[in-house]
Amino acid sequence: MSFVNVVPELVAAAAADLAAIGSKLTAVNAAAEGPTTALTAAASDEVSAAVAALFANYAQQYQSVGAQAEVFRDRLVQALTTGAGAYAGTEVANAQQALLDAINAPTLALLGRPLIGNGADGGTVDGTGQPGGAGGLLYGNGGAGGASTAPGVAGGAGGAAGLIGNGGQGGAGGPGAQGGIAGAGGTGGAGGWLYGNGGVGGIGGIGFNSSVNNVSGGSGGAGGAGGAAGLIGTGGAGGIGGAGGNAPAGDLFGGAGGAGGAGGDGGTGGWLYGNGGAGGAGGTGLTAIAGGPGGAGGAGGVARLIGHGGAGGIGGDGGNGGFAGSGSVGGDGGAGGQGGWLYGNGGDGGNGGTGGNGGVFLGGFGADAGAGGAGGAAGLIGHGGTGGIGGAGGHGTGSNIGGSGGRGGNGGAGGSLYGIAGNGGNGGDGGTADFGKATATTGGAGGAGGAGGSAGLIGQGGAGGNAGNGGSGGTGVGDQGGAGGVGGAGGAGGSGGAGGTLFGNGGVGGNGGNGGNGGQGVDTAFSLTAGSGGNGGAGG
């Protein structure tokens, strides 16, 4: 291999000389343009006029060529200048790297990590995600954890930072095998001791996908927990739970769908200042002969001295039933993290997942929805977090009832010295029922509203959440004209929280849910009498 030795200073000097020569040529060409491109004929005869036009044309062509040469010269000067700068920058970078290598050599030899520099990302060895390398003791981010590809193996953990730096992200978990659970996501790395955010948790692996009858899909892996911060910094967000695995949905003897993995919890905020990390969302349950349940959302990370609590993760939706199966329950939302001991608001609770619908052919029950997560409490001064909203109940099919709506999460307590308490979350609506036989089926009940949080010494209590509405009853069918189904009952409104013991009003109670509409009665060709309509559901 041949090598080229370049002296950046000489290249820069050549560019400067070329630019100076070009400036002089431009000035000379401009001075010659007038006298040479506008020649006057020596006499009034045709020959003199032709000679003058010929030389004027030569001068114009020279000016055109000179202009093109000037453009070429400018580009060459620019290229030489840029090249000189690039060579100089490379020399500086090489010198800096050499200096860093000299500085890092003792700590690498003694502790196995650099003094300054980012940790190496973890790879994948034999299907197993490796942990990310630690960041420099003085400065540097932790490396990302490697993703696992082997069934059921957790992802590599993110590397921790040193004094200043962010933690590395956790690696994704491996997929699930038949009869097993998918691998969990790797934990996010810790943030720097002085300053830095915690790493994000890894995503949970996807559950085993079945293509064989009577073999169920596997459960998804849990999301990894977010990394904690040090003195100042935000905790890492929790990883998302893996989706459940598929199973044959269109066959009467198919297996059940896999459950979604739980979301990872958010990381803790910094000791002095920093918010807690948000909880990861729960994985979705998959559609199959019987749907898989949704995963629960991760809890929000707590703050320490000053900072807000992290929001809870959203619960995963329950899977729908397949050929003749019922839907599955939605996952509960994660609880919000607690606010800082001295100052900070509590995190909001995560919303509950939606219940799965019944199967589309022979039908199935609609599943109950997940409840909303509770709002986080404040510390000394701060407001409580709002409770999460309950999920909507699944729709029943084929003479089956609808699922109940999820309950709203309770509001978080206000600060013990001062703060407004969090409002309770609204309850989810109940699922509707499908057609029945001689008597149709009932709609699902609406979820109750969450209770408002209580205030501390001074503050207003949180309002109670509104309840969900009941689902509509099913339509009656049959040879005698089926009666319509009863509408689902509306949920109860949440109670208002207590006001401050020294000063503060109590919270307003939530509204009760409306009862569901009664189902329609249907006549048939075999009867002259139509079925009676169903009764509406009771209000909350």
Cα–Cα distances (Å) from 251 to 248, 289, 394, in that order, read 6, 7, 21
Torsion angle of the four alpha carbons 468, 474, 475, 478, in this order, in degrees rounded to the nearest 10: -170
Burial class of residue 112 in the structure, from the number of CB atoms within 10 Å of its CB (0-12 exposed, 13-18 middle, 19+ buried): exposed
Instruction: Decide the pairing of beta strands 128-129 and 124-125.
Output: antiparallel
Contact 306, 344 (CB under 8 A): yes
pLDDT band at 172 (very low <50, low <70, confident <90, very high): very high
Cβ contacts of 143-147, under 8 Å, gap ≥ 24: 143/118, 143/119, 143/168, 143/189, 144/168, 144/169, 144/170, 144/171, 144/199, 145/121, 145/169, 145/170, 145/171, 145/186, 145/189, 145/202, 146/121, 146/122, 146/171, 147/171, 147/172, 147/174, 147/202
Mean pLDDT of 474-478: 52
pLDDT band at 374 (very low <50, low <70, confident <90, very high): very high
The average confidence (pLDDT) of the chain is 77
pLDDT given for residue 488 in this prediction: 45
pLDDT band at 485 (very low <50, low <70, confident <90, very high): very low
pLDDT given for residue 522 in this prediction: 52
Is the pLDDT confidence value at 307 over 80?
Answer: yes
| Total-model pTM | 0.71
Contact 190, 141 (CB under 8 A): no
257 vs 195, higher pLDDT: 195
Mean pLDDT of 356-378: 76
pLDDT band at 536 (very low <50, low <70, confident <90, very high): very low
pLDDT band at 317 (very low <50, low <70, confident <90, very high): confident
> Which pair of structure tokens corresponds to residue 320?
């729908």
DSSP symbol at 478? S
pLDDT given for residue 191 in this prediction: 94
pLDDT given for residue 125 in this prediction: 92
260 vs 525, higher pLDDT: 260
Highest mean pLDDT among 37-46, 106-115, 497-506, 512-521: 106-115
Segment 14-26, tens digit of pLDDT: 667 667 776 777 7
Is the pLDDT confidence value at 436 over 60?
Answer: no
Residue 69 CA to residue 66 CA, distance in Å, equals 5
pLDDT given for residue 155 in this prediction: 94
pLDDT given for residue 478 in this prediction: 46
Mean pLDDT of 146-166: 93
34 vs 196, higher pLDDT: 196
Segment 499-534, tens digit of pLDDT: 678 877 877 877 876 755 655 555 544 444 444 444
359 vs 17, higher pLDDT: 17
> Which pair of structure tokens corresponds to residue 375?
């709002």
pLDDT given for residue 30 in this prediction: 72
- Report the candidate in 437, 436, 438, 358 with the shortest Cα–Cα distance to residue 393: 358
Mean pLDDT of 428-435: 74
Query: CATH topology for 8-96?
Result: Helix Hairpins (1.10.287)
367 vs 88, higher pLDDT: 367
Residue 205 CA to residue 89 CA, distance in Å, equals 44
Neighbouring C-beta atoms of residue 24, cutoff 10 Å: 9
3-state secondary structure 113-173: CCCECCCCCCCEECCEECCCCCCCCCECCCCCCCCCCCCCCCCCCCCCCCCECCCCCCCCC
Residue 349 CA to residue 327 CA, distance in Å, equals 25
Residue 281 CA to residue 331 CA, distance in Å, equals 10
Is the pLDDT confidence value at 241 over 60?
Answer: yes
> Which pair of structure tokens corresponds to residue 193?
């001791």
Residue 452 CA to residue 375 CA, distance in Å, equals 10
Lowest mean pLDDT segment, chosen from 13-27, 88-102, 479-493: 479-493
- Report the candidate in 285, 374, 300, 370 with the shortest Cα–Cα distance to residue 331: 370
pLDDT given for residue 83 in this prediction: 73
Domain boundaries, the chain: 8-96, 267-540
Lowest mean pLDDT segment, chosen from 30-34, 187-191, 326-330: 30-34
DSSP symbol at 83? H
Is the pLDDT confidence value at 305 over 50?
Answer: yes
Amino acid identity for residue 119 in this structure: G
pLDDT band at 105 (very low <50, low <70, confident <90, very high): confident
Mean pLDDT of 439-448: 68
Strand partners, 364: 397
pLDDT given for residue 528 in this prediction: 44
318 vs 459, higher pLDDT: 459
Is the pLDDT confidence value at 287 over 70?
Answer: no
pLDDT band at 93 (very low <50, low <70, confident <90, very high): low
Lowest mean pLDDT segment, chosen from 33-42, 135-144, 176-185: 33-42
Is the pLDDT confidence value at 146 over 70?
Answer: yes
Lowest mean pLDDT segment, chosen from 47-56, 130-139, 203-212: 47-56
Mean pLDDT of 424-436: 77
pLDDT given for residue 398 in this prediction: 63
pLDDT given for residue 396 in this prediction: 67
Burial class of residue 216 in the structure, from the number of CB atoms within 10 Å of its CB (0-12 exposed, 13-18 middle, 19+ buried): buried
Task: Scan for tokens 């200048």, then name that residue.
Answer: 81
Highest mean pLDDT among 65-79, 353-367, 469-483: 65-79
Is the pLDDT confidence value at 381 over 80?
Answer: yes
Is the pLDDT confidence value at 383 over 60?
Answer: yes
> Which pair of structure tokens corresponds to residue 419?
């703060």
Q: How far is the first Cα of the chain from the last one, in angstroms, to the nearest whole number?
A: 84
Is the pLDDT confidence value at 296 over 50?
Answer: yes
Amino acid identity for residue 260 in this structure: G
Mean pLDDT of 462-484: 62
Radius of gyration for the alpha carbons in the chain, expressed in angstroms and rounded: 36
pLDDT given for residue 433 in this prediction: 66
Mean pLDDT of 175-185: 86
Is the pLDDT confidence value at 481 over 50?
Answer: no
Is the pLDDT confidence value at 195 over 90?
Answer: yes
Lowest mean pLDDT segment, chosen from 168-172, 208-212, 526-530: 526-530
